Amino acid sequence: MSGRITDPTGQTVAGVAVRLVRDGTRTTLDTVTNEAGYYFFPNLQPGTYEVRVSQDGFKSIQRDGVTVATADRQRLDFRLELGAVTETVTVTADASLLQVGSAEVATTVTARDYERLPQIQFNRMRSPATFLYLSPGVLGNVNNNGRDNVAASNQIQVNGSAKFSNELYMDGLPGRTNFNETAPPVDAVGEFKLQANQLSAEYGNTGSAVVTFTVKSGTNDFHGLLFDIFRNEKLDARSFLAPTRSTIRQNEFGATFGGPVLLPGLYNGKDRTFFFFAYTGSRKRGLDQIQRRRLPTPDERLGDFSGNTRLIYDPATTRSEGTRFIRTPFPGNVIPGNRLDPVALRVTELLPPLNLSGAGVLNFQDFIGERLLDPDVYLTRIDHSFAPSHRVFGTYNHTRIPRQNVTAAMADPFSDRTFQFITSHMIRGNYDWVAAPTVLNNLLVGFNQFRNPFRGFYANQGFAERFGIRGAVGDAFPSFGFTDGYAPLGRNSLSDSTESSFIVKNIANWTRGAHVFKFGVEYRQNLRWSEDQNASAGAYSFNNLGTALPTSPNNTGDAYASFLLGQVHSATLNLPFTSRARKPYWGFFVQDDVRLTPKLTLNLGVRYEITQAPWELDDQYSLVDLSTPNPAAGGRPGASVFAGSGQGRTGSSRLTDTGYDAFGPRVGFAWQLTSRTVLRGGYGLFYADNGIFPVTTGFRTIAGFQTLDQGITPPFVLSQGFPGGINPNPALEPGLLNGQNVTSRSGTMGLMPRTQNWSLSVQRELSRNWAMELSYVANRNTRQTAAGMINENQVHPRYLALGGLLTQNINSAAAREAGFAPPYPGFNGSVAQALRTYPQYLNITEQSAKAGTTFYNGFSARIRKRYSAGFTVDAHYTLSRNMGYADAGAAGFGTTNNMLQDNFNRQLEYALLPNDVPHAFVVQYSYELPFGPGKPLANTGVARHLLGGWILNAIHRYQCGVPLPILMNNSLPLFNRVLRPDIVSGTNLATGIAVGDFEPNSDRRINPEAFRNPAPFTFGSAGPAYHDLRQFPVLTEDFSILKNTNLTERFSVETSAQFINALNRHRFTDINVNFTNPAFGRASGSNIGRIITLGLKLKF
């Protein structure tokens, strides 16, 4: 909070005493105006304050109810009146709705919004980040396949930014990337603020947007609540295409409690020391579907395949006959008991009994779905004031998320059930020191940790030993896979990972004249630890070839019979591997908010950022360097390089350079044209995280074994175990990855993605409680992480003239006659492979290559009514366009292939991005019905209890669908990433069938007549995206109804009902965009149906 104090003539007055008193805690802050008549209170905790102004010779002024929001810059000027200081002028007018102190474009969601607006229990529980899409220009709550993703988090895209490029803060410091799994309880959040543009220089490592969550604190009075929110599928509506409602039983419950720290007889913390505690838990059960599988029959489990129509051949009788191999079938198709593999027998003994008949070969069924999801979140905050000049607070947030999930039906212990137990810790510490009336130092320290152990449910229980498996090097559950339709047995997952970050940030605030300076430094140490024991007891595969007649492999033999005989077809053994990586970050900034005139403020700042090159503590870091000679490829450029010192290594622990060019100036202005109109604008340069962590390829030992003669000779027999001689040491050979897909070093990998942001807006206060704003925002994103937009090993399109010759072997007569020869001795591949720039490799991905560029332009109109008379509303419309080319994940493609068709003609990829939403309208409102105590109607007698306390709330969201990227099966032998069809001119791209008339079994969203196959060995003419070809629009209405009933003066009860997608609108999703597919243009999915939850809260 800052302001200017003048006398009755308009002259500024120095030395005026200004005191702030925070409501609830009654803690005080004092300062005086400087020589220019300005006062300044930096780093205030969000809340409501009382402002007192006093100076000899003038009347004192007291202003109550001044609200300071998260990350706000509140300006409050005062004009003194002549008189005695003992006289007090009380001001009760509300603060202006205009933002006259900065150029930032922002949205604040308050505790009242959290309490009232409809909020879905999505998956784990309610998320504090759910309401991010209430801000203009935000996309993220609807995926690009059209499905809902209501648990928006840091994946949100603000004004065209890339996913994961924006930062989410809790109590002053950034949290982890996956905020939903580390977030504080919803009822612990006081408010959050989304700063979309024109950030102060104190914020960095972001793509121009920051979300700040502020946790509640205790007050001088004890306050708390108990609550439960209930969901059951019987209240829900099914999705349009679902035959039944999915089974979901969920309860979310919790409590909050806060107040002064009181130790009877020892300490009274009123006005000084406060605590706040919050807990939220959820218990969810849901077995959504029944899946049918095939298991061996009871006879087959004993080796009796007499009921099988295929002959089972004895692999022990394999013999050569001329140029072929033959075998003898088992008499009666029965394998003798003494021939059964002991490991296979022990596995088979644990198979469940069959429980299904009349379904052909399918004879077993079980449920799949989420068996258990029981998250718990605990938060504690302590605030203490040693003195008005020394204040501290600390926050600790801890999450525990155990989950069991089944994706494939099978009984234990062979269930596909996985167990995941996520835990996280967020610690924040804040120390404010008022060194002088014009100087405040703010020190923040923080720690984030996210641990994600993931394993098959029966890992770490010694099953490899129980089965008698030899050669196991870890305690993952051994898995067995089969052809011939048999269900796989066991889940071999066993891994653990931890991501941590230590953060220290210091900001010195100094007021001088009309200037408010901030000087700051920020340091982050990012750590990543991972342990991989997946398949450490082996992953084994069996097919019919082990018991088939080699001359008739398609209709003889059986995969389970091969298993019973121990005839392994292929197997993988992973040696346990641990990696420890580090990546530091530094930020330095200066900010000057200067009030040039009473009506004009400038926000000037500059930030310099360095993300240092990462390293792995044991030098387990390798990449392919495209300039290093490869001895195994005839000395051609392109070879594996290995970090560290010693033979075969580079001599450095880092394989990339640190970028030192992240210099970001920020400039903004706020010009108050009239008492009710403000013109604001600015420009800023921002840098996001470079996305690099060490690649450990070449240091992991993954031993693979496979039959080399089509099942005639197994690589080993199951009971004999893996062959010896597996070398756990890395082979530091330049040609280690020849013949494989590789990740290469990039000249741009160390650079931080850059965003240029500029904006211009006009705010107009329409009346005391109504305001509107017209805004223009632009984001120019360059150097975006987009490795998929580079394809270094694509064959040049000029070779398409060779036609079918590209698919011929380089050593074929046709290739020799055309003048082609192997690129290096020992090469054996196609002509196309030989023509690659680096023929020793398949596809090359440049690690964190900065090849993406996007350009967003958006105009928004917004109108807001401040809460008064029981009613508040906030509505905005956004008109925008987002162009460029970007990577699949960053732009929001999800699993769809990225856009790059021709690496040698990238400029053709510049088009509408898959996160382009040209029209979006969102409105939220809350209305307290005018009945009951303190209201104009029904405020006495029984009516006040029955009719009073009702609150109606709603969110309406209407927006265009995102573009549909058209592609087709890639038939070009160029190793390009995607192929598109030709576009037929003069035809409509979309069928134009509205969602209400759309029949998913017969109708198509895309007009197939608008496209055709390109000529052989040519690229298609269709572009990456078109304005007229989009997913169905998003049209949703969410409502909530609350009833507050006062039990006593201090206790009240709130009952509520939430209606998500209240009108049960359906929207078809998962539209097939593959022109080659017969289902092209058809939708195979639909959005969620209506969800109803019921809630009960006891408040005191």
- Asked if residue 728 has pLDDT above 80, the reply is no
pLDDT above 90: residue 794 = yes
Mapped onto helix, strand or coil, the DSSP state of residue 238 is coil
Identify the pLDDT of residue 895: 41
Sign of CA dihedral 69, 75, 80, 84: positive
User: What is the mean predicted confidence (pLDDT) over 775-785?
Assistant: 92
Bridge-based pairing of strands 105-110 and 189-197 is: antiparallel
What pLDDT, on the 0 to 100 scale, is given for residue 708?
85
User: How confident is the model over 329-374, as pLDDT tens digits?
Assistant: 999 999 999 999 999 999 999 999 999 888 778 888 887 777 788 9
Q: How far is Cα 76 from Cα 20, in angstroms, rounded to an integer?
A: 12
Q: What is the DSSP string of 44-69?
A: PPSEEEEEEEE-TTB-EEEEEEEEE-
The amino acid at 769: N
Structure tokens at 26: 């009654």
Give me 102's structure tokens.
Answer: 């900065």
Lowest mean pLDDT among 169-173, 860-864, 941-945, 1035-1039: 941-945
User: CA angle, 364 as apex, 360 and 366 as ends, to 5°?
Assistant: 135
Decide if pLDDT at 123 tops 70: no
Q: What pLDDT was estimated at residue 1006?
A: 96
Contact 803, 797 (CB under 8 A): no
Asked if residue 176 has pLDDT above 90, the reply is no
Give residue 152's pLDDT. Answer: 47
* Concatenated DSSP letters of 907-966: GGG-EE-TT--SEEEEEEEEEE-SBSTTSSBS-SHHHHHHHTTEEEEEEEEEEPPPBPPP
pLDDT of the residue at 288: 62
State residue 999's pLDDT score: 92
pLDDT at 287: 59
**If we measure between CA atoms, which residue out of 404, 567, 403 comes closest to residue 480?**
567
Among 308, 311, 288, which Cα is nearest to 299's? 308
Q: Which residues contact 338 (CB under 8 A, 6 or more apart)?
A: none
Select from 2.30.140.10, 3.60.9.10, 3.90.700.10, 2.60.40.1120 the CATH code of 2-95: 2.60.40.1120
State both tokens at 21. Answer: 């008193």
Nearest-Å Rg of the Cα atoms of the chain is 33
- The b/e string for 837-856 (b: 16+ C-beta within 10 A; e otherwise) is ebbbbbebbbbbbbbbbbbb
pLDDT (0 to 100) of residue 156: 73
The CA distances from residue 1079 to 215, 706, 983, 1033, in Å, are 49, 37, 18, 21
Average the pLDDT over 109-132 and give the result.
Answer: 85
968: number of Cβ within 10 Å = 21
Of the listed ranges 143-152, 831-840, 875-884, 1014-1023, the least confidently predicted one is 143-152
Distance CA 694, CA 621 (A): 5
Q: Which two tokens stand for residue 508?
A: 């010195």
Pair of tokens at residue 868: 């008064």
pLDDT of residue 815: 93
Inter-residue contact 249 to 286 (CB < 8 Å): yes
Say whether 237 sits in a helix, a strand or coil. Answer: coil
Identity (one letter) of the amino acid at 552?
A: S
Task: Give the percent of the chain with pLDDT over 90.
Answer: 65
Contacts with 208 (C-beta within 8 Å, 6 or more apart), sequence order = 158, 159, 161, 166, 196, 197, 199, 684, 686, 755, 757, 779
pLDDT for the residue numbered 82: 87
Q: How far is residue 447 CA from its own chain's centroid?
A: 20
Exposed/middle/buried for 681, CB within 10 Å: 0-12, 13-18, 19+? buried
What whole-number distance in Å separates Cα of residue 802 and Cα of residue 800?
Answer: 5
Distance CA 52, CA 90 (A): 9
**Candidate from 42-56, 691-705, 730-744 with smallest mean pLDDT:** 691-705
Count, residues in the chain: 1100
**Bigger pLDDT: 276 vs 58:** 276
Residue whose entry in the numeric block shows the structure tokens 């509506």: 237
pLDDT of residue 729: 66
Q: CB-based contacts of 11: which residues, under 8 Å, 6+ apart?
A: 37
Bridge-based pairing state of the strands 515-532 and 539-542: unpaired
| Amino acid, single-letter form, for residue 531 | E
Whole-model pTM over 0.75: yes
> Which of 528-532, 726-730, 931-935 is least confident?
726-730
Q: What is the per-residue pLDDT across 20-65, written as a single tens digit (0 to 9) for each? A: 999 988 888 899 999 889 999 988 888 899 999 999 888 899 998 8
The helix/strand/coil state of 111 is: helix
Give pLDDT, residue 79: 92
Task: pLDDT band for 1087, please (50, 70, 90 cuts).
Answer: confident
The mean-pLDDT minimum among 300-314, 603-617, 750-764, 882-896 falls in 882-896
Looking at residues 988-992, what average pLDDT do you find? Answer: 94
Across the range 813-833, mean pLDDT stands at 93
Answer whether residue 1050 shows pLDDT above 60. Answer: yes
Which pLDDT score, from 0 to 100, does residue 356 have?
A: 86
Q: Which range among 581-595, 724-738, 844-858, 1070-1084 shows the weakest confidence by mean pLDDT?
A: 724-738
CA 698 to chain CA mean position, Å: 29
- The average confidence (pLDDT) of the chain is 90
Q: Select from 910, 912, 886 the least CA-distant residue to 898.
A: 886
Comparing C-alpha atoms, which of 614, 645, 642 is closest to residue 628? 642
Region at 205 (left for phi over 0; alpha for psi -120 to 50; beta for the rest): left
Q: What is the predicted pLDDT for the residue at 105?
A: 85
Q: What does each C-alpha distance from 1014 to 25, 805, 825, 1029 come to in angstroms?
A: 72, 19, 37, 20
Longest dimension (CA), the chain: 120
Q: What six digits make up the tokens of 658?
A: 């640190």
Write down the pLDDT at residue 322: 83
Would you state the pLDDT for residue 433? 95
pLDDT band at 711 (very low <50, low <70, confident <90, very high): confident
Inter-residue contact 196 to 106 (CB < 8 Å): yes
Angle at 434 between CA 430 and CA 437, to 5 degrees: 150
Q: Where are the domains of the chain?
A: 2-95, 890-918+961-1030
Q: Is 345 helix (H, G, I), strand (E, B) or coil?
A: helix
State in Å, rounded, how far the first CA of the chain is from the last one.
Answer: 31
The dihedral through the CA atoms of 89, 90, 93, 95 has a sign that is positive
Closest C-alpha among 265, 222, 218 to residue 22: 218
Q: What is the pLDDT of residues 163-174, one digit of tens each?
A: 777 888 999 999
pLDDT tier at 556, thresholds 50, 70, 90:
very high
* Cβ-based neighbour number of residue 869 at 10 Å: 12
